[in-house]
Amino acid sequence: MILAGIAVAATLTAVTAAVAFAGGETATGAIVCPQPVVPAVPAAAQAEVQRELANLDKQIAEANERLRTSAGEGGPNFVQNAILGPLASKRVAALNRIETAIGRVAVKPEGLERFATCGLGQAPTVPAPPSTSQPVAASTPVAARGVIECPLPVLQDVPAAARSEVDRELANLGKQLAEANDRLRTSAGQGGPNFVQNAILGPLASKRTAALDRIAISIGRVQARPQGLERFATCSLR
Q: What is the pLDDT of residues 58-69, one digit of tens each?
A: 999 999 999 999
Is 86 part of any domain?
yes
Is 170 part of any domain?
yes
Is 128 part of any domain?
no
In order of 41, 133, 163, the CA distances from 51 in angstroms are 13, 29, 11
In single-letter form, the type of residue at position 138 comes to: A
Q: Say if residue 103 is in the same domain as residue 202.
A: no
Q: Say if residue 150 is in the same domain as residue 60.
A: no
Mean local confidence (pLDDT), 149-164: 84
Q: Which residues of 73-98 are buried (b: 16+ CB within 10 A; e: fewer)?
A: eeeeebbeebbbeebbebbbebbebb
- In which domain, by residue range, is 227 found? 144-237
Is 38 part of any domain?
yes
Q: Say if residue 46 is in the same domain as residue 110.
A: yes
Q: Which residue has the higher pLDDT, 171 or 205?
A: 205
Q: Say if residue 24 is in the same domain as residue 116.
A: yes
Is 3 part of any domain?
no
Residue 21 has pLDDT above 70, yes or no: no
Mean local confidence (pLDDT), 3-15: 37
Q: Say if residue 17 is in the same domain as residue 116.
A: yes
192 band by pLDDT with thresholds 50, 70 and 90: confident
pLDDT of residue 91: 93
Segment holding 218, helix H or strand E? helix 202-220
- Report the percentage of the chain scoring pLDDT > 90: 24
Q: Say if residue 228 is in the same domain as residue 196.
A: yes
- Which residues are 31's β-sheet partners? 120
Q: Say if residue 154 is in the same domain as residue 116.
A: no
Q: Which residue has the higher pLDDT, 221 or 16?
A: 221
What pTM value is reported for the model? 0.52
Is 138 part of any domain?
no
How many domains, in total, are found in the chain? 2
Where in the chain does DSSP place strands (E)? 12-14, 17-20, 26-29, 31-34, 119-120, 148-149, 236-237
Q: How many residues does the chain have?
A: 238
Q: Say if residue 110 is in the same domain as residue 152.
A: no
Q: Say if residue 167 is in the same domain as residue 83.
A: no
Give the end of a domain, one of 120, 154, 183. 120
Segment holding 183, helix H or strand E? helix 160-186
Q: How far apart are CA 84 and CA 117, in angstroms?
A: 8
- Helix, strand, or coil here: 186? helix
pLDDT of residue 142: 41
- Per-residue pLDDT tens over the stretch 96-106: 999 999 888 88
pLDDT of residue 125: 85
- Per-residue pLDDT tens over the stretch 198-229: 889 999 999 999 999 999 999 999 999 989 99
Mean local confidence (pLDDT), 12-18: 37
130 band by pLDDT with thresholds 50, 70 and 90: low
Q: Say if residue 44 is in the same domain as residue 92.
A: yes
Q: Say if residue 16 is in the same domain as residue 100.
A: yes
Q: Say if residue 64 is in the same domain as residue 155.
A: no
CB 147 within 8 A of CB 182: no
Is 136 part of any domain?
no
Residue 110 has pLDDT above 90, yes or no: no
Is 167 part of any domain?
yes
